[in-house]
Chains A and B, each alone.
Chain A
């Protein structure tokens, strides 16, 4: 086959090849994002996402959105500006959460026998969907960062509350009050995660009294805006084609 010859002979064949391409690229993108995002999230969010007794009203709410808006912003930058596909955030988060579920189910439960109800992943999907829709409707990075980033931070806690609320029911245990989540952490022995490294309910937002979760969520939203900008630029830079020699066209 010489270089000047076309690889396809008819429009139907072109469509078919293009579709094959779609699936291959999508699969590659999906697995690459799954791997990269999963490692990134484990290194930065780590224990906050692993264990229910880390999922507090302050640090989990603050940390999880900030460190997880990264890949969605970058993948959006690529998929939107090059293909007008408003699925970057959702695709990333779906990939991440599938990876997490495999890990939690196979390793945490299947290998180490932690019950799934102590080590399930956090739900990041509501924020991701809203982030994608805002980018599609506004066609603006700034708008997505400001409105989307804030929404991403704000939706995190309420989006997870239906899952974790049952574990925040209090229990009296040998004369001490704790939540069921605390009790899970106590019962299911982790030799490598002693109680003191648990970073929960710490911070300087105490002046707000009982309503710490909304304050943490707002703070998280504001930082998410900045992180969104940063990673959106990373995404644009990575999606450049300058790396590839321009001889295909």
Chain B
């Protein structure tokens, strides 16, 4: 007897453990720090985020901040990733530490998925309302169907205050203002409690009598019919009819209480408004590009032609959100995240103003620890070892031009 008891106890314990470990620990993905593990070519050749601005670095609970900027849907989108025909403008944060109070592409609200065109630039803005205190890495992010999440640059933002003070007031079309944070919660608990109570009553009705051993003996000796009495059947009828009556009555009462309801809304938004960058009058040809592994630097030989009417200088190279600047031409004033900003990371062999009509071949070096820290150097191990990025030129009036580059990259290990 004792042995069997032990065995059953052991089995119960094992079952309990399996239960606990397997199912209950599932939680929706909260981490948003996949930025470094994402393949370098994904970050360099899909969505180019630029002109990013995080409006605040510290926000009290219930206050809002924005991430805004532009993104270029790269024309040389990799073959291995699905085209962004169904995409969703997201924000990379660890779960709902902010709520997304609004998000716009080209001024259009985008709570739904959108269709994006290759080679186009879009302007975006995400409005975030602070909910949970802490230091959070806040990324721009684009989910692409068949391509996964494409994470943009992230910046640390601190939320202060207390989550218990967070409110989320919303006014419905029926005129009530509710707090979506706790709305209808009592109703959820109430109905679940009601049904659990009914179910437990039914279980108890059977469990309170001797169960497995005597009933099994009765069934195996052909006396199964004696196990269900007429009274049991009556009680069963009461439960079944009662269940149906409660379902019907509660549904009717609900319809009376909420006469106006609509189905869930879904659907793809097409024809998003693009952002027109000023026509570029500079043309750039990449003669060659190498990545020097020991020096953590990328070297490009560029042949630049100025077809415009004012002299220009190269001021910035931007790839995968890492910005290499030539401080003599351009300095960042947006307090861009430090780890993604190489303020003096760009050197050009001859960066004197390039006169209109002139063509010049220059050596451009982009060096910074970010190549390693952000694992962009892993590009050389990618199946399609190409790099891509944005070059920004400025003329003497401060007018900016953007040129994209896309070329093979050769690693150099010495």
Task: Give residues in A with beta carbon < 8 Å to B.
Answer: 7-8, 15, 17-22, 24-28, 31-32, 34-35, 38-39, 42, 50, 53, 55-57, 81-87, 90-91, 93-94, 97, 99, 101-103, 106-108, 111-117, 120, 123, 125-126, 128-130, 132-134, 136-137, 139, 155, 158-159, 161-163, 165-184, 186-198, 200-202, 212
Binds A, one of B225-233, B288-296, B329-337, B388-396: B225-233
B251: chain A residues at CB < 8 Å are 158, 161-162
> Is the beta-carbon distance between B86 and A196 smaller than 8 angstroms?
yes
Docked Cα-Cα span, A127 to B207, in Å, equals 20
The chain B residue with its CB closest to the CB of A192 is B29
The answer to whether A50 and B28 touch (CB under 8 A), given A24-B12, A114-B96, is yes
* Minimum CB–CB distance for A186 against chain B, Å: 5
Instruction: Verify A18–B214 contact, CB threshold 8 A.
Output: yes
Closest-CB distance, A120 to chain B (whole angstroms): 5
Residue of A nearest to B181 (CB): A115
Instruction: Decide yes or no: A87 and B27 within 8 Å by CB, A24-B12, A129-B240, A189-B90 being known contacts.
Output: no
16 contacts between A and B (CB under 8 A): A24-B9, A42-B26, A87-B202, A113-B131, A114-B28, A116-B188, A125-B196, A162-B187, A165-B254, A168-B262, A169-B172, A169-B173, A175-B109, A187-B168, A190-B29, A195-B143
CA distance A6 to B377 in the complex (A): 75
Given A81-B219, A129-B243, A158-B250, 4 extra CB contacts under 8 A:
A28-B11, A87-B207, A132-B236, A183-B170
Q: Which of A17, A128, A165, A201 is the one whose CB lies under 8 Å from B264? A: A201
- B206 on the A face (CB < 8 A): yes
A242 vs chain B, min Cβ distance (A): 15
Those 7 A-B pairs whose CB atoms lie nearest each other, nearest first: A35-B19, A194-B143, A7-B1, A192-B29, A38-B23, A107-B27, A168-B261
Report if B244 contacts A (CB, 8 A): yes
**B residues within 8 A CB of A187?**
96, 99-101, 168, 180
Interface flag for B16 (CB, 8 Å): yes
Q: Judge whether B109 and A28 touch: CB under 8 Å.
A: no
Q: Could you tell me if A130 and B243 are in contact, using CB atoms closer than 8 angstroms? A: yes
Chain A residues, CB < 8 A from B22: 35, 38-39
Q: Which residues of B contact A198 (CB under 8 A)?
A: 266
Given contacts A57-B263, A182-B111, contact A163 B213 (CB under 8 A): no
Q: If A35-B19, A194-B113 touch, does A170 touch B260 (CB 8 Å cutoff)?
A: yes
Question: On chain B, which size bracket covers the interface?
Answer: 35 or more
Q: How far is the CA of A111 from the CA of B93 in the complex (A)?
A: 14
CA distance A35 to B191 in the complex (A): 24
A192 to B96, CA, bound (A): 12
Which chain B residues lie closer than 8 Å to A139 at the CB level? 228
- A111 in contact with B264 (CB, 8 Å): no
B108 shortest CB reach to chain A, Å: 9
**Which residues of B (235-276) have their CB < 8 Å from a CB of A?**
236-237, 239-240, 243-244, 246-248, 250-251, 253-255, 257-258, 260-266, 268
Best-buried of B233, B255, B261 by chain A (most CB within 10 Å): B261
Give bound CA distance, A87 to B266, whole Å: 40
Nearest neighbor of A169 in chain B, beta-carbon distance? B172
User: Is A166 a contact partner of B239 (Cβ separation < 8 A)?
Assistant: no
- Contact residues of A: prevailing secondary structure: helix
Judged by a CB distance under 8 angstroms, whether B18 is at the interface is yes
* Contact between chains at B149 and A194 (CB < 8 Å): yes
Identify the closest chain A residue to B241 (Cβ): A133
Taken together as a complex, chains A and B put the C-alpha atoms of A163 and B187 apart, in Å, by 6
| Nearest-Cβ distance from residue A159 to partner chain B, whole angstroms | 5
Given contact pairs A161-B254, A170-B260, A188-B96, A97 touches B27 in the complex (Cβ within 8 A): no
Residues of chain B within 8 A of A53, CB atoms compared:
264
Query: Chain B residues with Cβ under 8 A from A126's Cβ?
Result: 195, 243-244, 246-247
Q: Are B91 and A189 in contact (CB under 8 A)?
A: yes
Q: C-beta contact mask, B82-118 vs A, less than 8 Å → 1, else 0?
A: 0000111011110111111110000001011100000
Q: Find residues 173-206 in chain B having any chain A CB closer than 8 Å to their own CB.
A: 173-174, 176, 178, 180-185, 187-188, 191-192, 195-196, 198-200, 202-203, 206
